Amino acid sequence: MTEILQTRALGKTFGGLDAVSDVDLSVQTGEIHCLIGPNGAGKSTLFKLVVGTYAPTRGNIVFRDRDVTAQRPYQRVKEGMSIKMQTPSVFRELPVRQNLHIALQHHVASQALAQEEDRLLELLELSADAGKPAGVLSHGQQQWLEIGMALALKPALLLLDEPTAGMSPEETFRTGELIQQLNGTGVTVLVVEHDMTFVRQIAQRVTVLHFGKVFARGSIEEILADQRVEEIYLGKPHEH
C-alpha cells in the first residue's frame, strides 16, 4: 500500500503550549484511519494543520507525494482532499440541493448536475428535504449534508472531524455504514473521533494522540488490546 498522507515531525505551538509536537502520521491509500485521544490530546489541532486552516510551527505535510505544507485549504482541496469540520458548516440560508450544487459545480458538467444532485440526495436520505433551507435540517441531517458536500468533490482523501458529534446512536451507526460504503468505492478516510463505539465500527488503523504526541498506533485490535490506551482514556496513571 502507498501512503496518501504523511506528516513529518509536525508541530504547532500556541504561545508556550505545544498543542501538537513532532507528529509523524501516515495514512495508507484506501484505508479508514482513525485519530483518537482524550480531550485536549491535540486531535483537532492536528486535523486543522492537515486541512490548512492552521499553519504549522514546524514540520511538513506531504499529500500524494507533494509537499502541501504552504498551501491554503482550497489548494489542498484541489489536490484531492475533502474536508468536514467538527461543527456542521452548511450554507444555512440556501436550499439543501443548492448546497450540493455549489460543491458539485467544480467538476460536474452543467447537464449532469441535476442527476448527480439527485444521486447524492438519495444516498444521504435527504431527497424529501431538497428544497428546504439547510438551516432547518436536524443536526444529524446537517452533518450528513456536509459529508455529502465533501463527497461531491470526489476526493482521494476524505477528512472528517468528529462526524458523529451530536448524533443519536442510530444516526451514528448509519454514518458509520455510510463511511464504510464510501471506503468500499476506493475513498481513503481519515476520521478524528473520540466515540470508541464508532471507532470500533469503522477503523482499520488507529493513531492515538496524547498531550500532542503520538502515543500509540496500530490496527484497531492492537489499540483495543493496549492497556496504556485504556489508561489514558480512563485517566489512570501510566508510564511512557
Q: Where do contacts with other proteins occur on this chain (CB under 8 A)?
A: 51, 53, 72-74, 77-78, 83, 85, 89-95, 98, 101-103, 105-106, 131, 149, 153
Shortest Å, Cβ 166 to other proteins: 18
Pairing of strands 205-210, 58-63: unpaired
Shortest Å, Cβ 21 to other proteins: 26
Nearer to other proteins, 72 or 238 (CB): 72
Shortest Å, Cβ 230 to other proteins: 35
What stretch of H or E contains 50?
helix 43-51
Nearer to other proteins, 126 or 196 (CB): 126
Residues 27 and 63: their CA atoms lie apart, in Å, by 10
Nearer to other proteins, 34 or 81 (CB): 81
Nearer to other proteins, 132 or 174 (CB): 132
Residues 194 and 112: their CA atoms lie apart, in Å, by 38
In this structure, are residues 205 and 218 in contact, taking their beta carbons and an 8 Å threshold?
A: yes
Shortest Å, Cβ 170 to other proteins: 26
Nearer to other proteins, 105 or 197 (CB): 105
Phi, psi of 63 (to 5 degrees): -125, 120
Residues 30 and 205: their CA atoms lie apart, in Å, by 11
Q: Which amino acid is at 168?
A: S
Shortest Å, Cβ 131 to other proteins: 8
Place of cell 477503523: 203
